[in-house]
Each structure stands twice: as C-alpha cells, then as structure tokens.
Amino acid sequence: MTHDIEPTTPVDPRFAALPQRPGKIVAVHLSYASRADQRGRRPAAPSYFLKPSSSLAASRDEIERPAGTELLAFEAEVALIIGTDARHVGAAEAWAHVGWVTASDDFGLYDLRANDRGSNVRSKGRDGYTPIGPHLIDARQVDPGALRVRAWVNGELAQDDTTADLIFPFAQIVADLSQHMTLERGDVILTGTPAGSSVVVPGDVVEVEVDAPDAAGAPSSGRLRTTVVQGERPFDPALGSLPAADDLQRAEAWGSREAAGLPAPGLDPELRAKLERAPVAGLSQQLRKRGLNNVTIDGVRPLRPGAKLVGLARTLRFVPNREDLFDSHGGGYNAQKRAFDAVREGEVIVIEARGESGSGTLGDILAIRAHARGAAGIVTDGGVRDIDAVSAVGIPVYTAGAHPAVLGRRHVPWDADVTIACGGTTVQPGDILVGDADGVIVIPPALAAEVVDAALEQEIEDGWIADRVAEGHAVDGLFPLAGEWKDRYRAWRATI
C-alpha cells in the first residue's frame, strides 16, 4: 500500500505541515507506561477523545493562557496522519494505513478539565492548542515501536521517551479506532504523552521533536516550537462554568504533588507514626465510642507475627468465577495485575474475595511487585498461594489462609479503585487501614487524628491501671477508673 506523500496546498497556515485539513483529530487519554506509573493507574484498553481541527497550529505560533487560569500544561506526542482510509482493519495491516508521523503538542488547560469530565472539549479544544509539525516523516521509513519523542521547555529537556514504552502499540490504536469509525486520509491521531508533562507560563517556549534515531538517515520532524502568551479576555460567567483549580488538578497538571508544591501524597508522617504506635484494639474502642462498630476486617490473620500494617486503601474486587466472564476478564492485563502495577508507596492493596478462601488471590510474584512499588501491605479476605514465598517477601500480608489453587478456581478479577466489601466491612479507596496481631481495622480519614490521639491516651491510662493491678489492687473502681482512683490517675498524669 502506498501513500501520496506530497501534501496538497493548504488553504490555512495552521495546516501547513499536513497533507490537508484533517476531518478529525482523535487523541488517546493514556498510552505510555511512564505516564501511567506517574498517574498511578493503568488502563486495560485505550480510550479516546476528539479535538477540533480548529485547534491546530503551526510551528512558531503562540498559545494563549486565558485570563484567570494557571494550569496550562504541554504534552509532547507522536502524531499519526492517516494516508489511506481504514475501516475494520486488523492490527497486522493497520500500520500500512498510516501515511506519516510528526511531532505534536497536546496542550491542555487543567483549570477547565474537571467540568469536561474526560471529554476535554474546552480544556484541549481551544484555538491553537494542538501545534503540529513542522515536517512529516514517511511512516514506511520507520519502525512504529522505535520512535522517540522529546520536549524542551526554555531549552531544558523535559520529556524523553520512546514508543517501546507504549502500553498500546500504534497498530492496536489504529485498528481499534477503525472498529468504530472510518479513519480517512488526513485524519490525525495523537498517541498520548510520556511522563514529564508539566505546567508552562507566559514567556515559556516549548519545543517538541519526534525522530527515529535508529532508522536510515535518522528522519526527524524537526522542532515544533510554541511560545506561551498571556490572554486578556475574561470568561463570561453568564455563559458557562468558570475555570477552577484544585489540588488534584494542580498535581496532575504539574505531573506530581511535589512538582506542584503540594504535600506528598499519603498519610501525614506524624499521623502515620501515631498509628504505628496505637494498638488496633484501642482504635476499635475509640471508633465504637463514636458509633462505628462495623469497621473490622474479620477472618484475616497476619502471615508474619509482629508485623504492623498502616496505610491508605487501594481496592481490588473479585466476583465469583463464571467461565465465560473469566475468559473475558481473567486473562491478559486484568484488574488484578493493574492494581498491583498501580499501587503507590504507603498504600495497602485490599482485596474483596467474599471470604472465599478456596483459591489464592495472590502469590509471590504479585507480593514482590507490591513490595517493589513501596506498598504498605496487602489485605485479602481470600486465600494466598505460595504462602512461604509470600511471607519471605517481607511485606505485611493479612489473609484468610493458605490455598494452593490459582485465582480462576473461584474468582474473576473484576475492577479496582472502587468501594468494596472485605471481611464483612466496607472499604473505600483512601480509607486508612491499621493491622496488628488482633486483626485489621478501617478508619475513616476524617476521624483518624482524633481517634488515634484518644487511643494513645487510653493506652497510657490502661498502662497505669495495669501497674496498680499488678501491685495487688482490686479492679473494682480501678477498671474502669472511678472516684478516688480517677483523681489519683489525673494527678499522676499531670506530672508527665
């Protein structure tokens, strides 16, 4: 299959780098492993959004950051330009329908992102928000798995990755899109950005280049150059929702909470230290005083005695095995693998297995992966296989018991990062889990500081009472404290 690589004469300088004005621009939400790891989530399949062709811009154009906004972010991407129409093509022939590749910059205004809810209509569809070019690379001359994409901000390298790091190869993306729409000559596919995307401000200059350094002649798109300028025209509040920036959008726009100048994710270090000292029994008592009785994950025990578990919940849900559903959801990069690949430092993977311990819900490989990612532990109300090897990994694991069978005997890995039921209690992503020899308890984050302070204070009181009992005093009036004993304790407590 051949392509006419001579672009037709464009009627608008915005399309100077392209064979013609594209009928559509399709963009991939998330496609590079480095970006997925940065975001803490890996998709099972590619997902897309559309950008208008009016958003295209030529190299050396300016991009406007609108008045009242702060979170304009660049995203260096490989752009695929369709050379011949594609409809219902398979992955094996999909690349033959790509005519050219070049550089693109998928700018986004994160101040408008939340209200778009994934469509990115306003946040990425603005005029000039898709610079592309300046030169085309013949797709027949390059290996789609060996392209390099780089970005510089004010001359400093900010992004540098290759298409070998893609979660979804270009051929898969083209073939998948062709299942849903006809990809026509001139259409543009923006293929996602690697880690390193961040915020730029007026005066910054962003450059993007795509090349094939290992191909004959090392073909290159040249550097696509865009200068950020400040817009002056305000948004009209009578017409629609206004820009709004919160810490979530700041962290995603800058690339991380640290880069955005926000506190590190996870538990506050001081709160974590207190939770590590507090016994689960004491925390349970304090939660009960506040009306929370159904907060223990029942039926699980630690594999390693003496291991303390403290972290934020990252949830994974299994449903009962049904052969057709296991065929569709159990293989490949399923929810179980995605959850273990996405868990972040200080998080606890919590697995809903319905208390069914007749198969393993994880083994040593996944335990090693969680440990390598810095996870604080794993809690499952199902079984664990390779139990000696899992114990040896060193990560705290709480389970209903050992079982040699693989996952598919009882379970289908279904979804992750949703509200689940584990050991008879509800667990939501971001809940705080604390475990010791007594078991595991779930603490609502809003109550954690109050509850742990009360539990630690109760530990001091209980220790004083225990010393009095050891001296031979009767427990009446001493446990719980009352009357004279309460006065004596308060006087002692005031001295320390």
Distance, in Å, from the CA atom of 301 to the CA atom of 384, rounded to the nearest integer, reads: 11
Distance, in Å, from the CA atom of 372 to the CA atom of 367, rounded to the nearest integer, reads: 9
Quick check: is 139 in a domain?
yes
Say if CB 279 and CB 455 are below 8 A apart. Answer: yes
> Would you say residue 138 has pLDDT above 50?
yes
- Scan for tokens 């040699």, then name that residue: 404
Residues 133 and 64 in one domain: yes
pLDDT in the model for residue 273: 95
Residues 279 and 250 in one domain: no
First to last CA, the chain: 84
> Would you say residue 443 has pLDDT above 70?
yes
Residues 282 and 181 in one domain: no
| CA-to-CA separations, 237 to 68, 126, 193, 234, 435, in angstroms, rounded | 12, 18, 32, 9, 50
pLDDT in the model for residue 112: 93
Among the candidates 228, 254, 280, a domain finishes at 254
pLDDT in the model for residue 449: 95
pLDDT in the model for residue 309: 96
pLDDT in the model for residue 408: 87
pLDDT in the model for residue 11: 65
Residues 277 and 369 in one domain: yes
pTM of the full structure: 0.73
Cβ neighbours around 296 below 10 Å, total: 19
> Would you say residue 115 has pLDDT above 90?
no
Mean pLDDT along residues 365-388: 96
Residues 213 and 362 in one domain: no
Say if CB 479 and CB 310 are below 8 A apart. Answer: no
- Scan for tokens 């069914």, then name that residue: 356
> Would you say residue 86 has pLDDT above 80?
yes
pLDDT in the model for residue 5: 53
Q: How far is CA 346 from the centre of its chain?
A: 14
Residues 80 and 203 in one domain: yes
pLDDT in the model for residue 305: 86
pLDDT in the model for residue 477: 87
Distance, in Å, from the CA atom of 148 to the CA atom of 161, rounded to the nearest integer, reads: 6
Strand bridging mode 130-131 / 56-57: parallel
Supply the CATH number for residue 287's domain: 3.50.30.40
Supply the CATH number for residue 246's domain: 3.90.850.10
pLDDT in the model for residue 173: 98
Number of domains making up the chain? 2
Residues 191 and 224 in one domain: yes
Residues 346 and 210 in one domain: no
pLDDT tens digit string along 7-26?
455 568 899 999 999 999 99
- Which residue type, as a one-letter code, is found at position 276? E
Q: Residue 308: which domain range?
A: 269-448
> Would you say residue 28 has pLDDT above 90?
yes
From 222-236, 250-264, 313-327, 444-458, the region with the lowest mean pLDDT:
250-264
Cβ neighbours around 146 below 10 Å, total: 13
C-alpha dihedral, 431 to 432 to 435 to 439, nearest 10°: -40
- Scan for tokens 């070019």, then name that residue: 133
Residues 156 and 43 in one domain: yes
Distance, in Å, from the CA atom of 259 to the CA atom of 374, rounded to the nearest integer, reads: 20
What percent of the chain shows pLDDT beyond 90? 83
pLDDT in the model for residue 40: 77
pLDDT in the model for residue 1: 53
pLDDT tens digit string along 297-326?
999 999 998 889 999 999 999 999 999 999
Residues 116 and 140 in one domain: yes
From 72-76, 185-189, 245-249, 337-341, the region with the lowest mean pLDDT:
245-249
> Would you say residue 125 has pLDDT above 60?
yes
Residues 232 and 289 in one domain: no
Quick check: is 104 in a domain?
yes
Quick check: is 485 in a domain?
no
Quick check: is 239 in a domain?
yes
- Scan for tokens 């990809």, then name that residue: 183
pLDDT tier, 37 (very low <50, low <70, confident <90, very high otherwise): confident
Quick check: is 260 in a domain?
no
The Cα angle at residue 395 between residues 394 and 398, in degrees rounded to 5: 120
Quick check: is 467 in a domain?
no
Say if CB 57 and CB 130 are below 8 A apart. Answer: yes
Quick check: is 378 in a domain?
yes
Residues whose CB falls within 8 Å of the CB of residue 302, separated by 6 or more in sequence, listed in order:
309, 396, 397, 398, 435, 436, 437
Among the candidates 254, 287, 313, a domain finishes at 254
> Would you say residue 135 has pLDDT above 90?
yes
> Would you say residue 6 has pLDDT above 70?
no
pLDDT in the model for residue 124: 96
Quick check: is 472 in a domain?
no
Among the candidates 254, 281, 314, a domain finishes at 254
Residues 77 and 142 in one domain: yes
> Would you say residue 2 has pLDDT above 50?
no
**Per residue, what are the HEC states of the chain?**
CCCCCCCCCCCCHHHCCCCCCCCCEEEECCCEHHHHHHHCCCCCCCCEEEECHHHEECCCEEEEECCCCCCEECCEEEEEEECCCECCCCHHHHHHHEEEEEEEECCEEHHHHHHHCCCCHHHHCCCCCEEECCCCEEHHHCCCCCCEEEEEECCEEEEEEEHHHECCCHHHHHHHHHHHCCECCCCEEECCCCCCCCEECCCCEEEEEEECCCCCCCCECCCEEEEEEECCCCCCCCCCCCCCCCHHHHHHHHCCCCCCCCCCCCCCHHHHHHHHHCCHHHHHHHHHHCCCCCCEECCCEECCCCCCEEEEEEEEEEEECCHHHHHHHCCCCCHHHHHHHHCCCCEEEEEECCCCCCCECCCHHHHHHHHHCCCCEEEECCEECCHHHHHHHCCCEEECEECCCCHHHCEEEEEECCCEEECCEEECCCCEEEEECCEEEEECHHHHHHHHHHHHHHHHHHHHHHHHHHCCCCCCCCCCCCHHHHHHHHHHHCCC
Please provide the average confidence, as pLDDT, over all residues in the chain.
Answer: 93
pLDDT tens digit string along 463-481?
999 999 999 999 988 988 8
pLDDT in the model for residue 41: 79
